[in-house]
Structures are given as structure tokens and as C-alpha cells.
Amino acid sequence: MNIIKTKPQSRRQFLKNAASYLTLAGSAFLNPLPTLGQSTNLKVRSVDAYPIYINERSEGLLDSPNFLNEDDPARWRFGGPFEQLPSAIITIIKTNEGLTGFGMGAGGSAAVEIINGHLKHFLINTNPLNVEQLWDQMYTSSIFYGRRGIFAMALSSVDNALWDIAGKYADKPVHQLLGGSERDRIEIYQTNGDFLEAQRRGVKNFKRTTYGGPKTPKDALDRFVTSVLEARDQLGPDVRLMTDCVSRDGTVEWAIPFCKRLREANLYFMEELLSPDNVFGYAELRRKVGFEGDGLTRIACGEHEYTEHGFKVLVGLGSADILQPDITWCGGTTAGRRISAIVEDAGLELIPHRGASSWGFPIALTSPSCTMAESFPEGSAILDAMSCQVENGYVVAPTKPGFGHSLTEKMVLDFQLTRRI
């Protein structure tokens, strides 16, 4: 298999193109639905959001932690009750013409409170097809308290529900509303699970995760390094193999020798070696071990970044070779298409987090640089309802209108978390 390598952009090229992808004035931000809603009386009639149970990780949000002492390593891993995927929410938007849109976000009951107390006021009795105008109004209204984190995750849920309505109104999949693509499938990469079993099913790309950083015990990191090197030996030299440290406290000084330990694995990328806030550290790391440096591995980040404004910083600083927005966290599909424009204009790669989900796939499919879509071997009934079909190692574009999911209001209510988180 040929491993695709994207040539990094030189600083001269960056400065030459800076105006286009830092301001993004022009076609990149034009509403892709300019005429869809001009002759309709479609109006939003109700907006309801629900925290949902996605898998056993959601159960842990309902329990108070039991730390042994102030030095307990678990204190560095506890994410609290509003940590992204475990605190998933679904927004259901209904219209006067019987169309219903579903959108996934996160933030649990805190995000639901933002939707009920703030965002809903921008939506009731408005035309849901004015998706990007509504996004701009909602985002701007949050400037003095929102911008990132829970607000962006709440906005993602609402925005995705609006795009679901737009696709159903037009009787088209969302990826067609975004401009479509000549391809109808993308290779998946499987995160964790049984790699050899997945390889027999046609999967060609794999990622192993750990919790890595200066506070990670040496024996735990040694086991992880061994597991990655063994995976390379088992899978062969031609598959893409990646790692994810899910790091909250990584430093450049820690990450560089860690990357060098895995040199023999010939990794396609290494993800989240540093805290998401350490954007300058990411830039330094890329200069030293990424494709701007010695080419040891591509540096990937962005899963925990928000809106085009956050990604402008990452791209402008040269912090990553691969950008990984999650469309249910970063601000939704509207933010995703703007982020895609920034990344593509910079000559970098876009590989959305959970790109094989119903929400991530339209951006993945319509971003020319995207080579893989992330998939997981195990989920739950509601996660399966929000995942695209996978065939022989490829995720296949849905043909149903909207996001192509199979969610129903009954399913959302059945999976609702009834205790507050």
C-alpha cells in the first residue's frame, strides 16, 4: 500500500497564503444553501436536548470519584461529569412541516441548560435552513462567556440538528449539501480492539491509545511501546499505524524521546502528545520530530479544539501536520466546513475525530486531504444508529437524506440519562 505523504507548507508559502486562510473572506464561508429556503415557510417549532447514555463510560459520570489521597494518579485522569464523549447529548428540533432534525453534541446537563436558556431563543420561529447565519448569531452571542468547551459542544448539537433538517428538506445527504465528492467511501482506521481480526475483515489502518505524559508510570509506557512495536511486526510494514496519547500534561521534553522510542514502528501520525492548550509546544514538537523537522512522524492534534478560530491558531503557528476536529464538539458541521477550508488552504491534512460517525463523515468525505475515517470496534445501540456503514475496510457514504442516521425520538428518550450530570 502506498503511504500518502502531504508536503508541509514552507513559512514563505504560509505567509503568502495567510490572508486567504486566516481571514477566509470569500467562497469558503458562503452559505451552501443560498436558495434552498427562499420560497419556504419552514419554521422551527420546538427545540429539546437530552443527555444520553452512550456506553459504560456514561455511567462513570454519575459517580463521585474515590481518590486515595492528593497524590493519587487517578486525579490526573478524572475528567468530571461534562467530559466530551461520555457526556453526549442529542438535540431534537421539530418544524411546522413535520421535519425533525437530530444533532449530537456533548456537555451533559450543563450543555442542555445552555440550549434551553440561551440557544433556543435564536431558533424558535426561525427558518432552520438559514444554518450558517444562525450559527454566526449564536456564536457571537456567547463571546463573553462561551467560545470554547461546553458552549461549543452545545452549539454543535444544535447546528448538526439544523443540517439534518436541511438535508431532509432537500432530500439529500448532508455531504451533497456541502458540495459532494467524486468518491463515495473512505478507508477506515480502527482505534484499538483486535487488530489482526480487523485486518482479516479488510481494515488497513490502526491506532493504539494510551494515557501518556510525564506523570505516567514508566512501566505503563514501556508496555505501551512494546504493544505498538508488536503491532507493527504482526500487521506488516505496509499498513498505516498510529498512536494516541490522550495527553493532558505532556511536555515537549517528554514527548521527543517518547517519539524516538517508537521510530521503528514507522508511525503515520502520533496524536495528542501534549495538552490541547500547549499550541506553542505543538509547534516546537512539529519543528523537531514532525514533517517540518526530521520527518520522524506526523504530529496530529485538534480533537479538543473549537471553531475555526481555534484552528486558525493551530494552523497559523504550524502546530500540526494533521488536524482532527470532532464535529460534535468543535461547533458542528458549520464549524467543520470552515475548519476544513482553513486546513485545505494551508496544504495540511484533515482527519476528523470519529470520522466514520454520521456526524463526522460529511466533512471527512468532502475534504480532499482526508485519507482515513476513524472507527471503533465496539459501541452501543445508539452509537451504532449514528455510525456509517463499513464494508471491507471502507466507510461508505450514506444515501439517506440528512446525516443518514437511524435515530428516532423514542430511541433518544430510551437512552436518556435521567439523573443529572
Same domain, 181 and 94: no
CATH of the domain at 169: 3.30.390.10
Domain that holds residue 224: 11-26+176-398
* Distance of alpha carbon 314 from alpha carbon 302, whole angstroms: 8
Same domain, 263 and 125: no
Reduced to 3 states, what is the DSSP secondary structure of residue 382? helix
Same domain, 316 and 212: yes
Same domain, 219 and 111: no
Same domain, 214 and 352: yes
Same domain, 209 and 158: no
* Residue 353 is among the residues annotated as catalytic for this protein: yes
Domain boundary among 173, 200, 217: 173
Reduced to 3 states, what is the DSSP secondary structure of residue 94? strand
421 is a domain residue: no
pTM: 0.90
417 is a domain residue: no
Per annotation, catalytic residue among 175, 304, 353, 405: 353
Cβ-Cβ contacts under 8 Å for 173 (sequence gap 6 or more): 167, 362, 397, 398, 399, 400, 401, 402, 403, 404
pLDDT per residue as tens, the chain (421 positions)? 333 344 444 443 433 343 333 333 333 344 566 556 566 899 999 999 999 988 777 666 667 788 899 988 788 878 888 887 889 999 999 999 999 999 999 999 999 999 999 999 999 999 999 999 999 999 999 999 999 999 999 999 999 999 999 999 999 999 999 999 999 999 999 999 999 999 999 999 999 998 888 888 899 999 999 999 999 999 999 999 999 999 988 999 999 999 999 999 999 999 999 999 999 999 999 999 987 767 789 999 999 999 999 999 999 999 999 999 999 999 999 999 999 999 999 999 999 999 999 999 999 999 999 999 999 987 789 999 999 999 999 999 999 999 999 999 999 999 998 754 4
- Provide the number of structural domains found in the chain: 2
Please give the backbone phi and psi of residue 157, each rounded to the nearest 5 degrees, phi first: -65, -45
3 is a domain residue: no
Q: How remote is the C-alpha of 310 from its chain's centroid?
A: 14
Strand partners, 402: 173
38 is a domain residue: yes
Domain boundary among 173, 207, 236: 173
